[in-house]
Amino acid sequence: MALADVFVDTAGFLALWDASDEHHATAQTIQEELTRNRRRFVTSEYVVDESATLLLIRHSHSAASDFLDTIERSEALRLEWVGPERFHTAASLFRKHADKEWSFTDCVSFAIMRELRIRDCFTTDHHFKQAGFSVLLRRGQRREGSAREGLCRGDNTSKFRLPSRASP
């Protein structure tokens, strides 16, 4: 049932992955609550690309590789591939909304979310609210958490918890 699905955007992944992100503690808490409530996570290869690239630029190749390894092994995250039809739908949205500062990746996400009838997005990006979706991780919403700084690595339990398909 699509109602249980939550789309994970780049801002959501970065908030979970980067312990220095201002939304890190809140993101962890919300992600744990969604998991307890048996919500399923969905994203696209465009979001994975954007997230891995930002982790590479902001942190390291190792951080980006760790992220990709976890995405590939995850049973808790479904990766939706774009393909020609979704690409053209996203391009149409992008052209139609020239008055917005939506990225093409945002439009791909919107197209997938509409197609799959996903209402909730794990992000801080206000563009999702502009497009009519529920933003689960809002800007300005912070909870007290760990004072640690740096990147949450694959062996760190505070990272986005995605069960592996294969044993480590």
- 3-state SS track over the chain: CHHHEEEECHHHHHHHHECCCCCHHHHHHHHHHHHHCCCEEEEEHHHHHHHHHHHHHHCCHHHHHHHHHHHHHECCEEEECCHHHHHHHHHHHHHHCCCCCCCHHHHHHHHHHHHHCCCEEECCCHHHHHCCCEECCCCCCCCCCCCCCCECCCCCCCCCCCCECCCC
pLDDT value of position 159: 41
pLDDT at 96: 97
Q: Give the residue ranges of the chain where pLDDT is below 50.
A: 1-3, 140-168
What pLDDT does residue 139 have? Answer: 54
Residue boundaries of the structural domains of the chain: 2-135
What fold does the segment set 2-135 form as a domain? Rossmann fold (3.40.50)
| pLDDT at 2 (0 to 100) | 44
Tens digits of per-residue pLDDT, 78-121? 999 999 999 999 999 999 999 999 999 999 999 999 999 999 99
pLDDT at position 138, please?
75
